[in-house]
Structure 1
Amino acid sequence: MKNSTFTTIGLIVMFLVSFVSSAQVGINTTSPKSTLDINGNLSVKTVSVNGNGTGGGGSSVLLNDGVYISVSPSSNDDKFELPDPTQYPGRVYFIRNIHNSNTAQLITPNGLFFLKGITSGGSSNLFMYDNHLRSVLIVSDGLNWTIFNAEDGASLP
């Protein structure tokens, strides 16, 4: 009798684990087609970050909170540091330099920045200014940061 009870409990646990591990969550839908399926609008955390006014030679301001980030450099080439891409594979940021005249400089402690579709010639920093990468969609691939919405003709330093 004990073996039968343990076998039954074991089968139930295995069923629940397999059901949960392949579960799909739907928001405003009864038939989700992906792991997370949203039938509606999506809001993400928005933050504003001010530069520290130290420019290119000074310390950086860490960008570790939010998804849509408005950066406002206090002086030209203020540094804003993304987290290590190897620690956050798949992390997505929308970053916009909202200052009209100061350049924002993005840096990363590891890896490089690459324009989408480019596999060589990465850069350790990214300059954001009017008419040049003022707004970027950037994603960690687990090793580097990839810039997905670069304007035609954009280049890295």
Structure 2
Amino acid sequence: MNNFKQIFLLLVFFCFSQSGFSQVGINTTTPMSTLDINGNLSLKTVVLIGSGSATIIDDGVYISINPQATDQEFKLPSAILFPGRVYIIRNINNTNTAKLTSAGGMLFPKNSTVGTIDIYMYEGNLRTITVISDGSNWTYIN
């Protein structure tokens, strides 16, 4: 009976350890990455309207922000709490500047070691940016 338990536990361990190295393919029979998609990808889109207090960004991937006044604040979640999180953010207002801040971590432009606590998004300057959490801070690409 003791050998049966050991063999059973060994099989269970083998099955679960193999699933840790699995690859998933969508529309492909030979995935080459952890997730391999052969086709189109759709992302959740959200429109956020600015308000008197900071508008929290907590849903969606492609986010259209619409400030109702100049320098209205839109706040990213903490980069520390959401490592690997990616947002694509676009200021869709043609007249008002949006102020982008973070609940945790600084904002760093790509290829820079100098961060800031906020960035301003307006026509001609950072109209659309992609932000990526590294687990400590946000890196932004325009």
Instruction: State the TM bucket, normalised to the shorter chain.
Output: over 0.9
Partner of 2:50: 51
**Deviation digits for residues 82-140 of structure 1 (CA, Å, limit 9, x no counterpart):** 001000011000000000110011011221111101012x1100100000000001101
Counterpart amino acid of 1:39? N
Tell me the CA shift for residue 15 of structure 1: 1.3
Partner of 1:117: 111
Tell me the CA shift for residue 148 of structure 1: 2.0
Q: Does 1:73 align with 2:67?
A: yes
Runs ≥4 residues deviating over 3 A? none
In 2, distance between residues paired with 1:7 and 1:123? Answer: 56
In 2, distance between residues paired with 1:91 and 1:28? Answer: 25
- Matched position secondary structure for 2:95: coil
In 1, distance between residues paired with 2:49 and 2:13? Answer: 51
Partner of 2:26: 27
Q: Aligned-residue CA RMSD in angstroms?
A: 0.9
Q: Does 1:141 align with 2:139?
A: no
TM-score computed with the length of structure 2 as normaliser: 0.97
TM-score computed with the length of structure 1 as normaliser: 0.88
Partner of 1:11: 10
- Matched position secondary structure for 1:71: strand
Tell me the CA shift for residue 80 of structure 1: 0.4
Counterpart amino acid of 2:38? N
- Matched position secondary structure for 1:136: strand
In 1, distance between residues paired with 2:87 and 2:8? Answer: 44
Counterpart amino acid of 1:101? T
Counterpart amino acid of 1:26? G
Tell me the CA shift for residue 38 of structure 1: 0.5
Tell me the CA shift for residue 19 of structure 1: 1.1
In 1, distance between residues paired with 2:81 and 2:57? Answer: 14
Unpaired segments of 5 or more residues in structure 2? none
Larger proportion of strand: 2
Tell me the CA shift for residue 68 of structure 1: 0.3
The one of 58, 79, 83 equivalent to 1:85 is 79
- Matched position secondary structure for 1:6: helix
